[in-house]
Amino acid sequence: MTYASTDQAASVEGPRQERPWRALTQLPPISPALVALAILALLAVGIMVTRLIYGWGTVTNLNDNYGWGLWKGFNTLVGIALGASGFTTAFAVYVLGQERLRPLARTAILIGLLGYFSSIISLLIDLGHPERIWFLIMYWNPESPLFEVGWCVMLYTTVMLFEFSPALFERFGLKRSEGVIHAVAIPLVIGGTVLSTLHQSSLGSLFLNVPDQLDKLWYTPLLPLFFFMSSVYVGPAMVIVASTLSSRALGRGLESDLLATLAKAIPYLLGIYLVVKIAELAGAREFGLLFDGSRSSAIFLLETTVGVIFPMLLFSLRSVRQDNRWRFVAALMVVGGLMLNRVDVGLVAWARPSDALSYVPHVLEFVFTAGLWAGLAIVFYLAALYLPVFGQRAHSPASE
């Protein structure tokens, strides 16, 4: 399959003159995939309502040994990490001056918003008293890493809403409002970068409190640094994955040359992460644990080879960066490796005091997770359909 560039696609379609509100009243094209995603999302809503009414004992297998289950170990940790695509791409465009990548900035910010929404929704229904989330604002506990994470997530989500707002203003012709946001774009991006840096690393800091429970292959005083570094390298990869999938779902052009440019940075970021990781294991005299034949070593090697080494080698090849399929595969490996890392740290690599209180996620935990991400995929699809997300005018069903 070949892809036209975005500019080529826009020139073929020509300018769209429909009124903004009229376009939004048109239903999106219905496909079997969209129906399946909608069913999963509705199931997630039902599980969420059940949990809020009857408690999470009815829909999870959490216990006194496992207060963090699938919803925090996957949805929250992974969602925030994938949300780093917003600050990495925006920083490259607005601060480093990589204007060539500007058409990808809105896509990256939208991915970031949805990643953070996944974390916020999961956290709200996972809390014992979700109605008390406002306590974080009223009752300060500066000594808690979660306090800093909570504030940074709230503030950075607000920043990303401002960063994405020009897409809405452009869609409805609000030039003055759009101009105001553009005027403060650089301060917004710098503030968002600082906030994202703080809480990406602070998520790693949470696990510094359990040195005797977390497996030695993952536990290190450098966990905050590793969490931050992995969020940086996964950002460009997530933009590649989302752009490729959306180009197929929407039948739009793919920004192949821009994605190839974005992919150039990934092998360097992965390489730095890998060198620091190996140096830390060697410095702690734990390098031999990689080859002791245990379950932990097998999982760690899988996480590192599939999620770091293989894509680093692939992205170092120009032919891979310029090939739509191989670039997508390599980026998907990076995203998958990041997911496995967060699940390993948050769930798998734990030593518990009693096997009697082991934890296997409830089937409804898996259903809710699938439904949550299905709902976010629908939101991305609708935003891409109706708003100028890809550096061109919005694509609306009215033109089908």
| pLDDT given at position 82 | 84
| pLDDT given at position 395 | 40
| pLDDT given at position 6 | 41
List CB contacts of 62: < 8 A, sequence separation 6 or more.
56, 69, 359
Q: What share of the chain is helix, strand, coil (3-state, %, to 5)?
A: 75, 0, 25
Q: What's the pTM? A: 0.81
pLDDT category at 3 given cuts 50, 70, 90 is very low
**Nearest to 169, CA basis, from 20, 382, 18, 27:** 20
For 382, list phi and psi in degrees, rounded to 5: -65, -40
Among 1-15, 173-187, 320-334, 348-362, name the most confident range. Answer: 320-334
End-to-end Cα spacing for the chain: 22
The domain 62-359 is placed in CATH, from the list 1.10.1040.10, 1.10.3720.10, 3.30.565.10, 1.20.1630.10, at 1.20.1630.10
CA distances from 332 to 172, 236, 237, 305 (A): 35, 11, 7, 13
Domain ranges of the chain: 62-359
pLDDT category at 8 given cuts 50, 70, 90 is very low
CB 337 within 8 A of CB 308: yes
